[in-house]
Structure 1
Amino acid sequence: SESSSLGDLENTDSFYGGEACSVIANLDETIKRIDDFLLFERQFLHGDIVCLASDSQGQPGKVFNVEMTVNMETVDGRKIENADCKNLQRIRSVSADDYVVRGPWLGKVEKTVDHLTVLFDDGTLSHFSADGAEKIISLSQDVVEDSLQPLYPGQRVSVEFPSLKRSARWLCGVLRKNRKEQQGTVLDVDTGVAFIHWLFCADISSEKDCVPSSRQDSKNLTVLSAFPHASWQLGDWCMLPLERETNQNFQNAAVIVKTKTKVDVMWQDGSRSLGLDSCLLLPVNMIEAHDFWPDAFVSEKGTSDDRNFPRYGIVRSVDAREQTAEVKWCKPSSLSCIDFEETVSCYELVEHPGYSFCLGEAVYRVGEEKNGESSSYFGNVFGFRNGYVEVKWADGLTIEVAPYEISRINSDENASAFLQDGVENEEDVKQSFMNSFSSITTGLFDFLRKSYAKAVDDDGKYICEEEDESLKPPAMAPCSSEKRGSFLQFDMVSDFSDHHFAEASGMEEAQVRRSWLKTVHNEWSSLAKDLPETIYVRAYEGRIDLLRAAIVGTQGTPYHDGLFFFDIRLPLEYPNEPPKVHYNSFGLRINPNLYESGEICLSLLNTWTGSESEAWNSKSSSLIQLLLSLQALVLNEKPYFNEAGYDSLMGKAEGEKNAVRYNENALLVNCRSMLCHLNKPPKNFEALVTEHFRSRCRNILTACRAYLNGAPVCNPFSVECCERQRSSTGFRIGISKLHAKLLEAFLEKGFDC
């Protein structure tokens, strides 16, 4: 009937409607939990460089304090909000990847073994190792699974006991006979045994051979950590303080489901912002070498290679726009002996190589005396104050020390010690090595000098240069002295003793084939005929695999009027493999592609991964192409964008601002490079250096004076550019000092300035 049908429909609606409401309610709760878990905010650590999200082009700052609160969910489903992370504890006192201290030794934890205590449902209590014969199975439904730390207090577990071997130690009661499985609750979990890779010994008087055992009881170890409260992340398990009003005999474990971070920031100008929400800040990932912050320890450029630093500086404040810094200068062994305070160019400063400490970094004390009341050898940098470093030592004491009383823990400590022990630097090491084997290298050079006249054809038969006119050195291309000066674009010379690859071996290991000689001959011919006016090359009679090139910096770039020298070696596999190229840097970093070590990062040399069209091609690539690429693509107008990943910033405000600052620094380095070349010109290019700077000295000095008046880098004589964008004060301070040095060097050489 109609009434019964309506009744059935109502019952159906009631049943399914109730089920639907239940499903929707559960779904809403699930979605809310997912949203809460995924709604995480940006976290910052001590020492991170940040800027305001509302002013990303403003001055950057450094995080010097972090306060964190978290929301958690306990194993029994309770929710705790806004818990202070300083009240939280780690479940395990020692974990994998922790840095730990035992006496004068520092090590890194590679593996740990848990020891746990379980209260079984029958009232028995057992303590055993997680790597024992017992099989432990979790019965709890975890909020978040953690494969690295699967056990925690309050967790319900099932323990399967083997019939023969048992490692469990019964603290209360005994295991019933023939009972192979029991269920219970984990009361306590901690690291029992840790396996350590020992890294460093801070006590120079101790026996270095007496390295502690890799297997250590965790009770004998101290974890080295300066800011443990600021390192919590989503999904981490932690321990809550034991609640007194409950009858629980174990601490509550909880998982972090949400974080809230506030940070204190020290800005470059010395001002501070306290308690900033992390959502108001953005991370700054691109830090330039001339970016500094208050309390940083610095030294002057030009003294960083000197191991006896005349003084060091403490940065008071920085003007990011003008690239200047207020610096207090101190004697190297006394903070109380202050030279003076002055405003200096940021381009003239470098991080002090011995005092470049970072917040949280591990350090050890230098010397045998204890630091105040602390007896620890190791600690973490906790802060900076008035030229002192605050160190939190492993025993928990925080003490202020002078920067020369502590040292960083470097991986190349042994190498540094070797260099300091009677040998001044790496070049001296090379020189002493080569002196020991001078007779061997002399014999090798004699062989290589004859390699051009003694070769084999593709059938393996020896030939001589007299038998094949194509193997003779090319005739020098005519050169107008009025147009190019008296220094030839291409020429053959004999002395290659200062060439970077002079000691390179390899040619004596295989016979030099005719095809390789023809390739070299063709390259020489091309260089003799087609070199542009601003590139000069020398080949070597005794080493036909070596060349040296000089490139003149192009006008309109920060490299204008400069000279840049490159040492080239053609391997036996050439042209199937690209040439080896070394930049003569004088220890200066002038370009993102040209390193202080002389290494060159370039796709054409296969030292950088680029597109296939940019890589070396044995059929089409040549030395001419390489030299033109170095001049046009590397020493270009905006070298900042040569840095990997920075090309995406081209045309953007941040990128263009950084490019201008990079150009200012590059031009200052270019001027320093000029002084180096005037003082020590490369062999066989002495005449070029003299001729080049004699003809350009007036232009160089005039450009310096234009820069002093505010002209932008690359365009010293452009009125339009000068009105649109003036150079920074820091750049003008640097160029004023270099102008005086260049003038003095030019006059000393007898140039008409």
Structure 2
Amino acid sequence: MATQLHADDLVANRDDETELGIVERTHADVDTHTPHPARNDPDPIRPDRGVSRKLFDKFLKDGIPPPKTVFVRWQNKENATITLESRLKVLDRTLLIGDVVRRHARDAMSGVVINASTRCVLQPIGDIEFPGPRGNNKLKGLLPPSPPDSEYVRYHHPTSGTPPQLVDIPASELRHSDAVNEEDLFVYKDRLGRIEELDHNITLKLQDNSVVEIHQDSAENFGTDVERYTVGDIASAKKPALRLGKWIFGKYNPNTQPIGTVVDTRIVSAEVTWLQRRIGAPETEDPPTTLDSDDFESSDFHIYDRTRLPRRSPTHGSSDTVSYSQSDLDLGDSVRFKDLAGACVKYDGSTHHGKLERLDRQDTLGYDINVFHVVKFRTDVTVQWQDLSITHDPSISLVPDGAIDDEHAAWPGEIAHTLDFADVPGQRGMTQPSRVGVVQTVNSAERMVTLRWSDEGQMQYFDDPEDGLEYRTLITGVVGRAAGELQELSLYDVEAPGSMNVRRGDTVLLMNEALERRDGEAAADDFDWVGEIVDTCLDGTLTVRLGAAKEVRDVNVRREHVHVAVRSDGTDQPDEWDQGESDEDMESGEEYESTDEYISRRRGGEEYGTPGDPGYLHPDNTDDEYDGFSDNEDDESVQATYEDENGEPLDEDEVEDEDWESDVSGDEDVDMIDAPAVTPPSSHSVTPPQPNDRTSDETDPPISAERTSSGPPSYLVLETEPTSHHYASEDSPVSANQMKRIQKEHKILRSADSLPSGVYVRTWESRMDLVRVLFVGPAETPYADVPFVIDFYLSGTFPREPPQAFFHNWTAETSLGGVGPVNPNLYEDGKICLSLLGTWEGGKSEGWNAARSTLLQVIVSILGLVLVREPYFNEAGYEPLAGLESSKRPSALYNERTYLRANSFLVRAIDWINSPEDDSGCASIDGVKDVVRWLYKDADGKKLLKRRIEDVEAILEKSEGSTAESDGLTSMSKGACIPLRRALARLKEL
């Protein structure tokens, strides 16, 4: 059985293990699923054997590798490929300090990587022989991964053929061949910055021993594309560039072939991003974003080197949990030994490592070209698990924890607090929890956590509803040193705020209180105010390594004395999921053809390989045998049709760009139910059930509350004023055509059997443009028997634009475990993420269209696509995860916390209908209050409250004392049962 691969895995072709590559995309890694992957690829992407053209064409559009395939970038091939996982062997898995991992995808317990140890295989400099106009030429250098022509270029050692590789070399003994690299952090005066782009000159040693310095852009690749030349590379220069270059030895000779070895590089300038200013530094403008060579050579500039180690152990905390960084190496990197002389003694050929042969500088005009290519590596990691156990494992035996962010997850050393907030005396809008503590251990399977309380701990939030803030904002946080009692709690009864918590590998700035001075104030040029977190101690303090200081040292500091400058997981960067360019932007690019043109141009057999190649596909072959994905799956959007009310065809552009006008008066009875049937849009590219063709249980979602003739009507026009409606202050449409369309929407809604069961629509006689809808959660979902209220507004731009919608996210009781969103499509601030509402970019046929879309379709989409059995997969881009083994547990956990939050909704709704009529809290259910009372409380009603109580009791009976894993619907974890039992008591009380 093939091992599931992950992004950044180092893999080999099982048929030829000398072919190495890096996995760039997988079916399950949704973060890599950007569309149109060929757009910026310098060479055509190819399908490997067993991947049909149809699947490949689909990948070129959506960027999602089909199940059981991965997108691989090969070291010795120009073309990246879509390849079956079964044809690959994983050699190494890149795991960094601070990464969260599991042993298996279904494991409950996770751990944090606290150390990583990489061992490399190195290819040394050798003699490269290639033909020239006057016979063969020979240079010393590193052969590119893709030589220009293996028949004419030979790579060999003068005495033993191919230079022998060095094996099993610790990465801790190596450094990059260049002192400064892109993405390096650096300190410059009082600023912390990051290198974004480097502009280099390179020094070439030609065959006649002449040496010239030219700009890197004046050199051409020798065998493969390179973004940047490093020492040891072979480069071909343009003759005009050589003629105008800076000659260090010799002079320009037109008879010398313009190919040489890069023996040195020099930074000309660098584009940088300024990240932070030293705490307490004068507030001055940032330096320019371009630094030149003088800046790099000044004493004010210092690269932050994470591999520098202190002379002594940390002053506080357990030394076996302290992280020690090493060089972060990738396949093909050019490296040097930190101590070349010592390495020559250690690797003298007497061990399995091989023999290191040092190249004498006298033979290379004084230049040091003792560099090596990383051609293979393997990593072992040290992991601290949530139960505090520590293990040492090969990286390939672990899997990255790529589940959706779980706000109820926690790890040892994190700061957490209780959920019982109280006002801070004398400070308006400020609230604080009663207790603050530090996580000691976590039982993930049972969702329980052990905390050690801090007597000094205090966190204060700003939470003033009059200021219109949607969320609490952490203002101050003090932890001190936790030395109080231990207590076991449910994870649903605590919060670990992200703004207070850090992880190993984070770069931080120290406040003056945290700096341990030995001889008064440190010198101005001692960068001891910036460091890296190397341990998160169980008393709430942090061990920080001052890696830029003159003398590297580890200091133990309080959490409140540290400011996070750069988070190692990249969360300090802007999200990129919504920054992709649209199809129109893509097709308007001057240097890129449309995806269809790209596919069409590659339909010939030549573009798919040649006969005999492993990846060859015949042009007529569209039905290759493939295990894992069906070619019958339709990868094209449904073709929409457009007609006016008289049945005349409309052009889509006319519908989308022109005002919609009705030819029918408002008094005529128009039945839009008979409009052309078109696949309705979805929340996240999923097809909802058709509202007008519900002929089977498969197209109608199961609803808990079925309508009866004795109950409240499903559609009703109210004579009161809609003062509580979210859009009550918005202007009413004044256009006659708009009013006709609004009347038509209401005709559809009030038509017999148009609304699904469990849906109640209310509007107002004075404001027909305002609609309030009560949804009863469908059966066999976490939302079963729970009320949800959404307000709609048919604005002055309707129907050219979709209705506006607002979801009433009723504030939950924190003691019931109900804090947080109830669905990825339903935001706590009221936003609803749905392609039909224009708040999510779905397929072209899934968005709102004035001719064919209706408010009824929006309602059906919410019921059938949002309030679903497994809302985990409603998260943006998570559709490919459905059915994967790795998704079962995160989906169950999402259901569990959603079930708890849904209970809070029910408690709040019943509490409101039990309140006095003039209670302002009832505003959110004004207009449907009688429906809620009939559904849940009335003796002649549906008695859904009683049914929900019975459901909760059955879950508790099944869950408590059981060792079975929670599925989030019929059984719950121990941690969930604690707030669930409180919810049961509240429901019975109501």
| TM-score scaled by length of structure 2 | 0.56
Task: Describe how 1:447-466 pairs up with structure 2 within 5 A.
Answer: none
Contact 2:214-2:242 at 8 Å conserved across structures: no
Contact 2:448-2:974 at 8 Å conserved across structures: yes
* Equivalent of residue 71 in structure 1, options 121, 128, 139: 121
Task: Describe how 1:290-689 pairs up with structure 2 within 5 A.
Answer: 290-300=408-418, 308-330=432-454, 331-332=457-458, 333-336=478-481, 338=483, 340-365=485-510, 367-373=511-517, 375-386=527-538, 387-393=540-546, 394-395=548-549, 396-409=552-565, 483-484=710-711, 489-492=715-718, 495-496=721-722, 499-501=725-727, 512-528=734-750, 530-531=754-755, 534-540=758-764, 543-586=767-810, 588-608=820-840, 616=848, 618-644=850-876, 646=878, 654-677=886-909, 678=911, 680-683=921-924, 684-685=926-927, 687-688=929-930
Structure 1 stretches lacking a partner, 5+ long: 1-29, 416-455, 472-479, 713-720, 747-753
Q: Match of 2:710, SS? A: helix
Q: Match of 1:229, SS? A: coil
User: What letter is aligned with 1:402?
Assistant: R
Deviations 1:643-677, CA, capped at 9 Å, x for gaps:
45655565665544444332221111112234555
* Equivalent of residue 373 in structure 2, options 255, 266, 271: 255
Contact 2:717-2:765 at 8 Å conserved across structures: no
2:326 is matched with 229
Structure-2 separation of matches of 1:592 and 1:61: 26
- Alignment RMSD: 4.6
Structure-2 separation of matches of 1:302 and 1:493: 42
2:282 is matched with 206
- What displacement does 1:235 show? 1.0
Contact 1:49-1:283 at 8 Å conserved across structures: yes
- What displacement does 1:310 show? 4.4
Structure-2 separation of matches of 1:413 and 1:659: 27
What is the aligned length?
636
Which structure is larger by alpha-carbon Rg, 1 or 2?
1
Q: Does 1:709 align with 2:827?
A: no
Structure-2 separation of matches of 1:726 and 1:413: 37
- What displacement does 1:78 show? 4.3
Structure-2 separation of matches of 1:658 and 1:106: 38
Structure-2 separation of matches of 1:697 and 1:459: 45
Structure-2 separation of matches of 1:318 and 1:626: 42
Q: Does 1:238 align with 2:335?
A: yes
Deviations 1:571-597, CA, capped at 9 Å, x for gaps:
445345432222222473111322233
* Equivalent of residue 291 in structure 2, options 194, 212, 215: 215
* More deviation, 40-49/305-314: 305-314
Structure-2 separation of matches of 1:58 and 1:354: 25
Distance 1:98 1:303, change over 3 A: farther
Distance 1:706 1:340, change over 3 A: farther
Deviations 1:31-85, CA, capped at 9 Å, x for gaps:
77546978742222223333335x7445333322110011011222342111111
Distance 1:549 1:195, change over 3 A: same
Distance 1:32 1:293, change over 3 A: closer
Structure-1 separation of matches of 2:241 and 2:397: 57
2:271 is matched with 195
* Equivalent of residue 184 in structure 2, options 75, 87, 98: 98
Contact 1:67-1:262 at 8 Å conserved across structures: yes
Fraction of identical pairs, as percent: 23
Contact 1:312-1:352 at 8 Å conserved across structures: no
Higher relative helix content: 1
Q: Match of 2:555, SS? A: strand
Q: Match of 1:195, SS? A: strand
User: What letter is aligned with 2:974?
Assistant: T
Distance 1:458 1:697, change over 3 A: closer
Contact 1:591-1:666 at 8 Å conserved across structures: yes
- What displacement does 1:295 show? 2.4
Structure-2 separation of matches of 1:354 and 1:72: 42
User: What letter is aligned with 1:61?
Assistant: G
Contact 2:481-2:558 at 8 Å conserved across structures: no
Structure-2 separation of matches of 1:535 and 1:705: 26
Q: Match of 1:560, SS? A: coil
Contact 1:458-1:514 at 8 Å conserved across structures: no
Q: Match of 1:407, SS? A: strand
User: What letter is aligned with 2:111?
Assistant: G
Q: Match of 1:294, SS? A: coil
Q: Match of 2:93, SS? A: coil
Structure-1 separation of matches of 2:413 and 2:483: 15
- What displacement does 1:256 show? 0.7
Q: Does 1:44 align with 2:95?
A: yes
Deviations 1:104-149, CA, capped at 9 Å, x for gaps:
32333232233566778888887x57469xx6678xx78xx56122
1:439 is matched with none
- What displacement does 1:546 show? 2.8
Q: Match of 1:483, SS? A: coil
User: What letter is aligned with 1:391?
Assistant: V
- What displacement does 1:257 show? 0.5
Distance 1:633 1:196, change over 3 A: closer
Contact 1:603-1:615 at 8 Å conserved across structures: yes
Structure-2 separation of matches of 1:63 and 1:412: 18
User: What letter is aligned with 1:709?
Assistant: E
Distance 1:312 1:498, change over 3 A: farther
Contact 1:707-1:735 at 8 Å conserved across structures: no
Contact 2:230-2:265 at 8 Å conserved across structures: yes
Distance 1:34 1:567, change over 3 A: same
Structure-2 separation of matches of 1:351 and 1:204: 29
Distance 1:207 1:642, change over 3 A: closer
Deviations 1:392-424, CA, capped at 9 Å, x for gaps:
334343333222222334899999xxxxxxxxx
Structure-2 separation of matches of 1:595 and 1:98: 37
Q: Does 1:729 align with 2:971?
A: no
Structure-1 separation of matches of 2:850 and 2:252: 80
Contact 1:71-1:258 at 8 Å conserved across structures: yes
- What displacement does 1:520 show? 0.8
Q: Match of 1:627, SS? A: helix
Contact 1:162-1:180 at 8 Å conserved across structures: no
| TM-score scaled by length of structure 1 | 0.71
Contact 2:106-2:885 at 8 Å conserved across structures: no
Structure-2 separation of matches of 1:561 and 1:106: 54
Structure-2 separation of matches of 1:213 and 1:645: 35
1:447 is matched with none
